[in-house]
Structure 1
Amino acid sequence: MDGELWDLTDADGIPAGRTHRRGDPDFPEGMFHVVASVCVARGDGLVLMTRRAATKDFPLDWEFPAGSALSGETSAQAAVRELAEEAGVRVGADDIVLVGRLAERTALFDLYVAAVSGDPALTLDPEEVCESAWVTFPEALRRAAAGEMAAPWVPRLERFGPRLGELVASRGA
């Protein structure tokens, strides 16, 4: 959301002791903020995908729940918060496993995976998400390849897809 305050880091994720307010012009050159995402896997091997609200960047595109870390938050805390806010799925920071980190233009993107039991009830935030679906991991990859996921997800899944697939499989049935 505009007005969020983000901690800035260098390319190695070391805090710079500075902040940037989302939406302000002139993001500092050479600085990054942390963006975190969680791929939620059920015991039956299905993963949660959410569809971005029509008013957001990359409108109506699919993704895994994600968002920026707020000032003072760790990447894991941000991932857990975003998952709860966007989809209503509650997990703890100890329940997620880091898949990897990817440096993007102004963000250090961290992807996590979390296993959940059963079929958790979802509560979608309509300002963030307009739809959700539990799909197979190959279907998530197909959506990325077909241009149905938000554009940033293509290089993310190219980089993390094999490891993420292994972690999803190890948490499923």
Structure 2
Amino acid sequence: MADDEMWDVTDVQGTPTGTLHRRGDGPVPAGAFHVVASVCVVASTGRVLVGLRAEGKDYPLAWEFPAGSALRGESSRRGAIRELDEEVGFSVLPDDLVLVGRVVEDRALFDLWITRVEGEPAPTVDPDEVQEAEWVELDEVQRRWRAGTFATPWNARFDQLWDTLRARVRELR
């Protein structure tokens, strides 16, 4: 996570406005957004991959699916692919991702993607991003979310996307 990381500023539909925003310069302007992409990786066993955020990050030692901001010129799908590779070392193709849904947050457009992998491959975590990663049942994700151990922004995301996510995970088993 570099302080010189640049994001496209978008409108509420996700269309870039032509303005860039530098990570670390505070939030994007009011009424504008940047795209945040996340991936729920579903193993052929039916379990999903969760990561524990590194201590030095916002929401330290909280659980989440691999996620991060799309960079300048990067689509949500491409950002999701890059973040998945950076955080846990998994490479997927664009067509491997299916959109679960989008949550319009205060100054971000949060997209949750889902993909399937064979078996339960061992993640290779970036220690600056993820302290540990593990395969768990979706019911365990819900238990951790309800117990408050997922990063706070996930509360509203799961409130809006949980039922669709559960259905998509079942489809991919």
Q: TM-score, normalised by structure 2?
A: 0.97
In structure 1, stretches of 5+ residues that fail to align are none
> Which whole-Å deviations, capped at 9, do the CAs of 1:86-130 have from their partners, x for residues lacking one?
001111111000000011111000000000011213110000000
Opposite residue 94 of structure 1, the aligned amino acid is D
What's the secondary structure of 1:113's corresponding residue?
strand
Paired position in structure 2 for 1:119:
120
Paired position in structure 1 for 2:163:
162
What's the secondary structure of 2:51's corresponding residue?
strand
Post-superposition offset of 1:65: 0.2
What's the secondary structure of 1:139's corresponding residue?
helix
Does structure 2 conserve the Cα–Cα contact (< 8 Å) formed by 1:36 and 1:69? Answer: yes
Change (3 A) 1:92 1:26: closer
What's the secondary structure of 1:83's corresponding residue?
helix
Opposite residue 159 of structure 1, the aligned amino acid is Q
Paired position in structure 1 for 2:29:
28
Equivalent-residue separation in structure 2 for 1:140 and 1:105 (angstroms): 24
Change (3 A) 1:30 1:124: same
Change (3 A) 1:84 1:26: closer
In structure 2, stretches of 5+ residues that fail to align are none
> Which whole-Å deviations, capped at 9, do the CAs of 1:32-60 have from their partners, x for residues lacking one?
00000000000110000000000000000
Equivalent-residue separation in structure 2 for 1:102 and 1:26 (angstroms): 17
> Which whole-Å deviations, capped at 9, do the CAs of 1:15-42 have from their partners, x for residues lacking one?
1011100111463121100000000000
Paired position in structure 2 for 1:153:
154
Between Structure 1 and Structure 2, how many residues are aligned? 172
Paired position in structure 2 for 1:47:
48
Report percent identity of matched pairs.
Answer: 53
Opposite residue 22 of structure 1, the aligned amino acid is R
Cα RMSD (Å): 0.9
